[in-house]
Chains A and B, each alone.
Chain A
C-alpha cells in the first residue's frame, strides 16, 4: 500500500464528506459564485482605479477576488472547522490508533481543498468569460492555474496552524467566520480597494489574502502587473504565510481532544 494509493483512498472519502456538507456547498462554493454574479452585475459598467495609476473594469476587479474568496473559504474557513471538529470529537485520535500515517490524512485534506479551489476557479472564470466578457490570455490561464494550486497548498498549511489555536468546536465556526470576514474585507475582497486609505492597503499587503488577490488580479488583467501575468512576488508572500502556518502546526498540533 503506497502512500499515493492510500492518499487517493483517503481523498475519495474526504471529497465525499466535503461535497455532502451543506456548509461547504453553501458557504464555500455558492458564495463566491453568487457574489460574482451580484458584484459583476452591479459594477458592470464601473471602473476602479488600481494602484492609483490605471483603471480596470468592475468585473476584472471582482473575478480574481471571488476566486480568492473561494480558495480562502475552502481552507481558512472550512478546513479549520473540519480539523478542530475532528480533533475535539476524537475522530483524529481514532485515526491515530490505526496504521494510517499523518502524511496520508494531510494529503487527503490538501487534495480536497485543491479540488474545491479548482472547481471554484473554473466555474468563476467561465461566468466571467461568458457573462461579463472578461477574457483571460493563455498566459493568464497558466498563471492562474499555478497560483490556485500553489496558494491552496499554502493556505492549507495556514489552516493547520490556525486550527491549533482553537480549542472547542462551538467557538470554531463563529471565530473562523469573523477572521474570514475581517481578513477578506481589509484585503479588498468585498469593497473596492480604491476606496481604502493607502495605509490600510499597505497593512493588508502583509497579510496573506491581499497578495493572493493581487497575484490572481495579474493573471486576469496583466496590465495591472506591468504586462506580466505571473505576479510571483505576491505569490511568495502567500507561500511564506503557508510555511509559517505549517511550522506553527508542526510544533503545536495534537491528535487528541484538548479536554
Chain B
C-alpha cells in the first residue's frame, strides 16, 4: 500500500498536527471538451476536518470538478492534490483513503444491507466494523433487509455507509439528500455533521441552500466554470453586510402610499400580493433606526403589524444573484 509523500513546495504532512497540509488543493483547474470549456480556471482548498459545500446551477461544472477530484475524469490543465496525491495517478492505496457517495446509485440487488457492507469492507485494508458503519448511519435495524427493499432515505444512508466502510479520511458527497422528506433530511444531516466529529473531511455538492447553511464550514459557489464566491455561510457574497429586509402585511384601510419613508431605506417599498392584503417589503441598510421609525408610525395610527419580519437576505437570494449575473 503506497503512502502519501510530501511534495516539493508544499507544507510537509504532519500527522495529527493542526497545520497539516490541506485535504484538497486545486490550482488553475481547467476542463475542456473539444471547444467547450466546462471548467475555466478554478482554485480551491479544503482544510482537513472541514465540511466544504460546493454549490452551483446545472451546467456550472460542479459534477465535472467533483469527478476530477475523485479520479474519475482526466483534467485538461491545472494542479490537483487530494490527500497529497494527484487523483489522475491515484492507486489502490489512495482509493482506500477516500470515500465516494455518487449522485445516484441503484442498490445492490439480492444482497442484504449487512452482506453489502461486508462485501465492500473486504475491499479495504483497514475497514470500519460493519456494525459501526450501521450505527453511524442509523441502519442497525435494517441490517438483514435486502438493499432493494429499503426506502429511498435508507438507501441513501446505505450509500453513505458504503462510503464510510473503508474508514476514509475524506468523503465526497454528491447531492446526498435529493428527494428526501424533511425527517429523512434531518437524519441525513445528523449523519453528515457527525462525520466532522469523527475527524473526517467532507466535500459536499448540493443544490439546497439550507443544507449548505446547516452543514458547511465554508461554501464555494460555482457558475459557468468559475468560482464566483467563497466564504462561510454567514459572510459569503457579502451576506453579513447586505441589506436587511423588513416585511409586513399592509393593514386594513392603509394604502401603499401611506407607508412612511424609513431612515436608511434603499429603494421604494415593494408591495407583493399576499392573501387578502398586500405584503410590503422594505430594504434598509440598518434595521434598528428603520424599525424605530416604523413602530412610531404604527403606534401613532394604532396599527398592529402582527406578522412583521426582519430578515437578512437569504443564502438563496445571494446564490441566485451571484449565479444569475454570470449567465
Give Cα A137 to B99, complex, Å.
Answer: 55
* B110 close to chain A: CB less than 8 A: yes
Contacts of B108 in A (CB 8 A): 17, 91
26 pairs from A and B in contact (CB 8 Å cutoff) = A1-B125, A6-B123, A9-B119, A9-B122, A13-B111, A13-B115, A13-B119, A16-B111, A17-B108, A17-B110, A21-B109, A89-B106, A90-B106, A93-B72, A93-B102, A94-B105, A96-B72, A97-B70, A97-B72, A98-B95, A98-B123, A98-B124, A98-B166, A99-B92, A99-B123, A100-B123
State the total of A-B contacts with C-beta under 8 angstroms: 63
With both beta carbons as reference points, the residue of chain A lying nearest to B67 in the complex is identified as A256
Chain A residues in the interface with B (C-beta under 8 A):
1, 6, 9-10, 13, 16-17, 20-21, 89-91, 93-101, 256
Sorted from nearest, which 6 A-B pairs have the closest CB atoms? A89-B106, A99-B92, A97-B100, A90-B105, A17-B110, A100-B123
Report, as a range, how many residues of chain B touch the other chain. 20 to 34
Residues of B within 8 A of A (CB): 70, 72, 92-93, 95-96, 98-100, 102, 104-106, 108-111, 115, 119-120, 122-125, 162, 166
Residue on B nearest A90 in the bound complex, by CB: B105
Bound: A94/B95 CA distance, A: 11
Alpha-carbon separation in the docked complex, A6 to B96 (Å) = 15
Given contacts A17-B110, A97-B95, 6 further A-B contacts (CB under 8 A): A17-B109, A17-B111, A89-B106, A90-B104, A91-B106, A94-B105
Q: A101–B90 Cα gap in the complex (Å)?
A: 12
The CB with the most chain A CB atoms within 10 A, among B96, B123, B162, is that of: B123
Query: Looking across the interface, which residue of chain A has its beta carbon closest to that of B106?
Result: A89
Specify the main secondary structure of chain B where it touches its partner.
loop
Q: How far is the CA of A6 from the CA of B93 in the complex (A)?
A: 15
Q: Residues of A contacting B105 with CB < 8 Å?
A: 89-91, 93-94
Q: Assuming A17-B111, A89-B105, A93-B102, is B122 touching A6 (CB within 8 A)?
A: yes
Q: Are A90 and B95 in contact (CB under 8 A)?
A: no
Task: Give the complex CA separation of A97 and B164 in angstroms.
Answer: 12
In the complex, residue of chain A having the shortest beta-carbon distance to the beta carbon of B73: A256
User: CA A20 – CA B112 in complex, angstroms?
Assistant: 11
B112 → A minimal CB distance (Å): 10
Chain B, residue nearest A88 (CB): B106
